[in-house]
Amino acid sequence: MSGRVVAQDVVAKESVPPFANTAVDGFAVRAQDVDKPGVELEVLGVIGAGHVAAYQIGAGQSARIMTGASMPRGADAVVMIEDATVLSATRVRCNKPAKVGDAVREVGEDVRAGDVVFKAGEVINSAGIGVLAGINARKVSSYPRLRVAMLSTGDELVIDGSTLRPGQIRESNLTMLASMIEDTGCEIINLGIVDDDEERLEVALREVATRCDAIVTSGGVGQGDFDIVKIVLSRIAEMHWMQMAIKPAKPFAFGKLKTSDSRVVPIFGLPGNPVSSMISFELLARPALRKMMGHTVDLRRPTVRAIVDAPMKRKQDGKVHFMRVFGRFGEDGRLHVRDTGPQGSHQLAATAQANGLAFVPDGQGLAAGAEVEVMLLG
């Protein structure tokens, strides 16, 4: 439930707290009796959390009471144990005066019955789940988790742990993307690596489209690439094959596949280079998936202006470079960043060390001390 977007206003049917209770361990008193230090009171009994006193507190009387216990009738303040001297089991001295309401948590101080605790469109976080439990809202209408199908292409890829033959590499994108898709709050249908048979791929795509909300593919979206995913998708879906002025993640594809039951399933065609795959998912697919799950704000992760601690060199090429950086807040209260190592689109190891993406504009790069916009990844 955490991270889900509420689809209908949630109105509290119960108040929290549901009864007036004490915020501290101490003595429930009538404030009017304890108008000066040193007042002595009779102690009628002990009230633990979850119990209700049968008696009423009258003039000159009190009750020992534990945090969370219901205030006894007649009492309107609590003197904390630290401000009291226990004289005997039935007598206490209050060392400080009390005011009405001292250490008392009133009914509905947190949530009042009738309050709208979540408006449609708001996101439920972990504390929100606690709030829902606290008001006994057992069923809440929310946007569903998307089911995202994913597949990878490439004759060179080995996914099953077997020994690499010459020319082969380990598949890494699906594992990485599965984690990113899950972090986005979606469920995964993992089709694995598709082999290069057009007809089988078409059948697989059409079939999975009937039971998913979006499709993510990895690889084969570059220019002049005769990957079968490109061939098949060009034929069966309405696709846009793009070259974007960013690095990494220059090639990208977006399209729509119509299902047999006339739904339209969006397709995100990510490039195969692992860093490109990661960045294009982060910048392009993730915001779209979030929007589909009802998010209206914060579709992208937050960005902050940061200080460049070591020069970030790049070549002028007409593109914005997204450099993987590690950032830490300095004593000046500013985020300071430096790149995490080799920035090639195949060099995922340096990306694994990063907690931010620096948007380095076209040019020769940034000198130490310059400012740069950084998207916070974690």
**For ligand AMP, which residue of 46, 52, 116, 169 counts as binding (CB under 6 A)?**
169
**For Mg ion, which residue of 26, 74, 185, 219 counts as binding (CB under 5 A)?**
219
C-beta of 128 vs 220, nearer to ligand AMP: 220
**For Mg ion, which residue of 220, 251, 271, 274 counts as binding (CB under 5 A)?**
220
Q: Is residue 280 at the binding interface for ligand AMP, with CB under 6 A as the rule?
A: no
Distances (CA, A) of 307 to 303, 316, 337, 362, 367: 13, 21, 6, 18, 10
In 3D space, the residue among 15, 28, 22, 29 whose CA is nearest the CA of residue 107 turns out to be: 15
> 83: number of CA atoms within 13 Å, CB side?
22
Which of Mg ion, ligand AMP, none is residue 173 near (CB under 5 to 8 Å by kind)? ligand AMP
Residue 272 has what DSSP assignment?
S
Which of ligand AMP, Mg ion, none is residue 271 near (CB under 5 to 8 Å by kind)? ligand AMP
**For ligand AMP, which residue of 28, 43, 157, 354 counts as binding (CB under 6 A)?**
157
**For ligand AMP, which residue of 76, 171, 282, 309 counts as binding (CB under 6 A)?**
171
Which of ligand AMP, Mg ion, none is residue 218 near (CB under 5 to 8 Å by kind)? ligand AMP
Q: Is residue 152 at the binding interface for ligand AMP, with CB under 6 A as the rule?
A: yes
Residue 82 has what DSSP assignment?
G
Please give the Cα distance from 375 to 355 (Å, whole number).
Answer: 9
The strand pair at 104-105 and 238-243 is best described as: unpaired
Q: 198-209 and 228-236 are packed helices; what angle lies between their axes, rounded to 10 degrees?
A: 50
Q: Is residue 274 at the binding interface for Mg ion, with CB under 5 A as the rule?
A: no
Considering CB under 6 A, how many residues would be counted as binding ligand AMP? 18
CA 354 to chain centre: 19
Q: Is residue 251 at the binding interface for Mg ion, with CB under 5 A as the rule?
A: no
Task: Tell me the closest approach of the beta carbon of residue 154 to ligand AMP, in angstroms.
Answer: 5
C-beta of 185 vs 271, nearer to ligand AMP: 271
**Residues in 97-156 that interact with Mg ion by CB under 5 A:** 154
Task: Tell me the closest approach of the beta carbon of residue 349 to Mg ion, in angstroms.
Answer: 21
Sign of the alpha-carbon torsion through 120, 124, 129, 130: negative
In 3D space, the residue among 75, 27, 26, 21 whose CA is nearest the CA of residue 49 turns out to be: 21
Collapse the DSSP code of 340 into the 3-class scheme (helix H, G, I; strand E, B; otherwise coil) and give the result.
coil
**Residues in 148-177 that interact with Mg ion by CB under 5 A:** 154
Collapse the DSSP code of 352 into the 3-class scheme (helix H, G, I; strand E, B; otherwise coil) and give the result.
helix
The site for ligand AMP (CB under 6 A) is made up of: 152, 154, 156-157, 169, 171-174, 218-220, 222, 225, 271-274
